[in-house]
Each structure stands twice: as C-alpha cells, then as structure tokens.
C-alpha cells in the first residue's frame, strides 16, 4: 500500500528549546492514524508542521493527496453563522457549497446559528464539515471528539469510519485512548520530540504488554492479579483457589489497555 | 460572487452583528453629533459652517481607530489566521476585507452626518459636495491605515482598545474639531499634525483638495502601508 504521508528528519525549535528532534513517520493510504503523546510532547507542533500551518527548521514532509484540516475551536469569527462559514470555505476552495455537508454531520440546525452561540461539540462538527468541504484525500483531526457527549462521540466515530470506507486517510491527535483503540489502524507515540513507537495497537501490546491482567470473580469477592506468564502464573492462582475450596464464577484475562501501554511508554525513561 | 467579494460582504455583515463596530461606527458618533452639535451651535453659532467636517472627522476617527483594531486582532491574534492558512488563502485577505468593510461603514456614517446636520442644526452644506466626499474618502483610507497598524502590531487583544484610545484622544482633541488648532500650544499643535484627523479636517473645512493638506495625508498613508506590510510578514513568520 502506498503512503499518504511521509515525514523524514523533521526538526523544529522554539528559541533554544528543540520540540521536534528528527521525526520519521509514515502513514499508509486509507488508514486511520493516531498521533499520541502527553501534553508538551510536540503533537500540535508536529501536526501544524505537516498541515503547513507552521514552518519547520529541517527535514522533509511529503503529502500524497489533497488535505483537509479540522481546526480547533476559536478559529472562526464569533458572529459568523454555520452556513456562512460553509459558503466562505467553499468559495475559498472553489467548490460549490450546499447544506448537505451540515446534514451529513447532523448539524443542520447550525446553518443559522452564530459561532459564538454554538456548543463545543457543535463547533467541532462544523469544523469537521469545513475540513471536508473540498473532498480531501487526507483529513487532519485534532481532538475530534473532545467536548462531545456520548451520543455525539458515537455518531462522529461512525462518520470517521465512513470517511475511511470512502478511501480517505485520517490522521488524528487524541487524548482519548478508548477512541484510538476502537478507531485507529495504526498509531505513533510522540515522546520528548521523538517517535517512541509506531505501529498497530496489537504491535504495541506485543512490545510492552508483557504482563497479563487477571480478574477472578468468586461468590465472595472479585480480585485482580498481574502475572508475567499466562500458563504457570494463572495455574498457580487457580491452585490457591482450589486449596481453599472456593468456587470461581468468572475469569477475565487481558494484556492491558492502550492507555496502560501508552503510560508505560510515556513514563519509560522518567523513572 | 468570488471568494474575495463574498468575504468582503460577509465581513461587512459580521461587523454589523458585532457590537464594537456598531457602537464605534454609528452609535457613539451619532450620540456625539446629537449632543455636541447642539452645544457647539448654541454657544458658537459660527460653528455651523464647520459642523459637517468636524462631526465627520470625529466619526471617522472613532470608527477607524476604535472599531477596526479589534476586528484585526480577532483575526491575527487568534486561530482564525489558521483558517486562512489551512485553505491556502493569503493572510493579507483578512486585512483587506476588514478594511473594505470598515470603509463602507464609515462612508455610510459620513453620508448620514452630511444629510442630517443641515436639518438638525442648520449646518452649512459644503460648497462642493464632490470635494467634501473626496476628502472624506481620503481621511477614511488614511485613518484605516493607522488603525491597521494598531490591529496588526498590538500583541495582546486586551491591549488593542488601550492603544486605540491612546491614538484616538489626541487625534481628535488636537485636530481642530473641538477648538481652533491655532489656539493650541505650539507643541500640541505639532503633535496634532502627526494624525490624519488634523489634515483631513483642514481639507474638508477648506473644501479644496490642495497639496498642503493632501501631501501629509499621502505621506502618513505610505508609512502606514509600509508598516502594515512589515507587520503582516511578521505575523506570517510567527
């Protein structure tokens, strides 16, 4: 599969502080790709460099296709109405504007609503509509579901999957690990200006998920264990229960969530 | 309608919706006109001769210096400029659209003053309305140049109003619209000559487009344009 995005040796400093220290990254065409990192890791700077919104010091960025960018809140005039923003962006991109873009995102009601009167979730939906107005090949989403309620989040996830099915590449920055785990084909973890991991969630689990989380429910209690070896470790726990003649009602085994793996990588050298 | 024209018309509508522009371009100048027009003409009846130029200078200075900078700061000191960049739109478009919109608002207000001053206070209509409106247009353009500098240069949105007022007060006080400029101490008179309001008022009061009033306005405008280009480049680099 060809790459939608290729970044080589990307460097960016603010004064003496080097924020990006030589980023190498590839995003496959048609993937939903997440960029993860703790606050201050350089996610926004990196995204803005790729999006062309910020100049970088050295390196190269190759984007294979047209780009649509979902901007953050406060990036439209306070008194602009939803449909006016759609029309303005359509004019700028030399495409025809129609209300179906708002309808597709379930935001028809925003057509006559002023930007300052919109909720955070409504603003995000409008910004997504604006990002998609030119039917881009690659869509950049920054915290797409932040501030959305559960219903809004579910419908936006469904819409993002629809975009993927249409063949679009989606690159998103998010703090929501559940969202990333459910939505994304591959991820990159940015740490101290470098890519600490890139691959699929499963590959991350293989790399850092060395422990198994075991939850055993009996009639008296529910207990959590952390073991290194699924065979001998689980067997030892079960033998202890057998000795006590305790009846086990349920056993759950997992290798940890993306959130746990992310925290592990993010804190690896901080200890 | 192309993107530029649509943007300019939209900006005009946004300015109407924004209270700042509505207050500075229409409400305050009209209130000032209603109160001061009455005061001036009753204390000094001869001010009816210069009431239209004086009130026009006040309205233009107020709308341009206090009204425009917040609109510019909203674009260039927030993420709105990213919307321009993300869509491949030059950053100078924001400056152009806000200036066009403010220009139209100020021209409308000047026309309103021209029409109602003779009816309300028996103000003298300028001998040559064409020359008067040429003066109005020149004053608006130069004043918008100065206010564009404020909007682009001030780093903090909250400080924009403070800098605007710091320019607006001496601009109107020393321009000669409140009292004759030749009554001012020499130093104040010299400071007043730095502002377009002084030259614009002289141009309209004399009702003639002569070089001694036009040249300073032209010089101020050129300096303002050069500074705006430098400031825009600084915004682009940021």
- Complex-level ipTM: 0.83
pLDDT of residue A169: 95
| Residues A153, A156, A160, A165, CA torsion sign | positive
Which B positions 190-219 lie with beta carbon below 8 A of chain A?
Answer: none
**A119 shares contact with chain B (CB less than 8 Å):** no
B6, B18, B85 member nearest A88 (Cβ): B6
How far is residue B173 CA from its own chain's centroid?
15
Min Cα distance A229 → chain B (Å) is 50
Gap between the Cα atoms of B124 and A116, Å rounded: 45
Question: Which of chain B's residues have a Cβ under 8 Å away from the Cβ of A91?
Answer: 1-3, 6-7
Band of residue B133 on the pLDDT scale cut at 50, 70, 90: very high
User: What is the DSSP-derived secondary structure letter of residue A70?
Assistant: E
Write the CA distances from A8 to A25, A199, B80, B147, integer angstroms.
7, 17, 29, 43
pLDDT of residue A202: 80
CA-nearest residue of chain B to A93?
Answer: B87
Contact across the interface for B3 and A94, Cβ inside 8 Å: yes
pLDDT of residue A209: 64
By residue count, chain A amounts to 271
A51, A71, A91 member nearest B79 (Cβ): A71
**Has residue B66 got a pLDDT over 80?**
yes
| CATH number for region A3-205 | 3.40.50.300
**Has residue B121 got a pLDDT over 70?**
yes
**Has residue B95 got a pLDDT over 80?**
yes
Contact across the interface for B82 and A76, Cβ inside 8 Å: no
The pTM of the full predicted model, rounded to 2 decimals, is 0.80
Band of residue B235 on the pLDDT scale cut at 50, 70, 90: confident
pLDDT of residue A1: 59
Cβ pairs A/B, distance under 8 A = 59
User: What are the b/e assignments for B87-122, b being 16+ CB within 10 Å?
Assistant: bebeeebbbebbbbbbbbbbeebbebbbebbeeebe
DSSP for B97-138 reads: HHHHHHHHHHHHHHHHHHHHHHHHH-PPPPS-HHHHHHHHHH
Residues of chain A with pLDDT under 70: 1, 73-74, 98-102, 104-106, 208-210, 267-271
Identify whether the C-beta of residue B219 lies closer than 8 Å to the C-beta of residue B196: no
pLDDT of residue A220: 85
pLDDT of residue A179: 83
pLDDT of residue A270: 53
- Cβ-proximal residues to A222 (8 Å cutoff; 6+ apart), any chain: A215, A216
A52, A80, A92 member nearest B3 (Cβ): A92
pLDDT of residue A158: 87
By percentage, how much of chain B surpasses pLDDT 70?
99
């Amino acid at each position: 599969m060809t790459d939608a995005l290729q970044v080589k040796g990307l460097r960016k400093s603010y004064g003496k502080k080097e924020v990006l220290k030589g980023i190498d990254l590839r995003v496959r065409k048609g993937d939903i790709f997440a960029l993860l990192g703790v606050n201050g890791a350089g996610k926004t700077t990196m995204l803005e460099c790729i999006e062309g919104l910020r100049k970088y010091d050295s390196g190269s960025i190759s984007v294979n296709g047209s780009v649509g960018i979902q901007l953050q809140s406060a990036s439209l005039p306070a008194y602009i109405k939803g449909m006016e923003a759609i029309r303005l962006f359509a004019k700028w991109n030399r495409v025809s504007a129609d209300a179906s873009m708002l309808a597709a995102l379930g935001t028809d009601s925003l057509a006559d609503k002023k930007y300052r009167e919109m909720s955070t979730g409504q603003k995000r939906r409008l910004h997504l509509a604006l990002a998609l107005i030119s039917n881009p090949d690659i869509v950049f989403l920054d915290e797409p579901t932040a501030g959305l309620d559960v219903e809004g989040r579910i419908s936006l996830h469904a819409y993002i999957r629809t975009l993927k099915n249409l063949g679009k590449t989606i690159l998103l920055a998010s703090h929501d690990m559940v969202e990333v785990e459910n939505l994304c084909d591959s991820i990159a973890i940015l740490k101290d200006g470098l890519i600490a991991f890139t691959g699929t969630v499963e590959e991350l689990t293989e790399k850092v998920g060395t422990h198994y989380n075991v939850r055993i429910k009996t009639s008296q209690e529910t207990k959590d264990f952390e073991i290194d070896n699924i065979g001998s470790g689980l067997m030892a726990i079960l033998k202890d229960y057998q000795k006590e003649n305790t009846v086990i009602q349920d056993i759950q085994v997992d290798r940890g969530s993306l959130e746990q793996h992310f925290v592990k990588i993010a804190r690896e050298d901080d200890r | 309608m192309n993107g530029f024209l649509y943007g300019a018309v939209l900006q005009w509508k946004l300015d109407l919706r924004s209270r700042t522009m509505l207050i500075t371009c229409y409400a305050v100048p009209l209130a000032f006109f209603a109160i001061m027009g009455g005061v001036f003409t009753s204390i000094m009846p001869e001010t009816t001769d210069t009431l239209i130029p004086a009130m026009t200078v006040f309205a233009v200075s107020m709308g341009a210096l206090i009204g425009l900078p917040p609109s510019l700061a909203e674009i260039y000191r927030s993420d709105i400029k990213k919307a321009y960049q993300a869509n491949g739109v030059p950053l100078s478009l924001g400056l152009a659209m806000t200036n066009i919109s403010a220009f139209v608002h100020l021209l409308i207000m000047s026309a309103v003053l021209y029409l109602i001053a003779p009816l309300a206070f028996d103000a003298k209509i300028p001998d040559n309305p064409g020359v008067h409106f040429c003066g109005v247009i020149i004053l608006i353009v130069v004043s918008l140049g100065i206010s564009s500098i404020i909007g682009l240069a001030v780093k903090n949105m909250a400080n924009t109003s403070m800098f605007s007022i710091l320019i607006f007060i001496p601009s109107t006080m020393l321009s000669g619209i409140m009292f004759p400029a030749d009554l001012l101490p020499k130093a104040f008179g010299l400071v007043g000559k730095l502002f377009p309001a002084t030259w614009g008022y002289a141009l309209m009061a004399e009702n003639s487009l002569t070089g001694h009033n036009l040249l300073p306005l032209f010089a101020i405008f050129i300096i303002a344009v050069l500074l705006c280009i430098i400031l825009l480049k600084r915004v682009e680099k940021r």
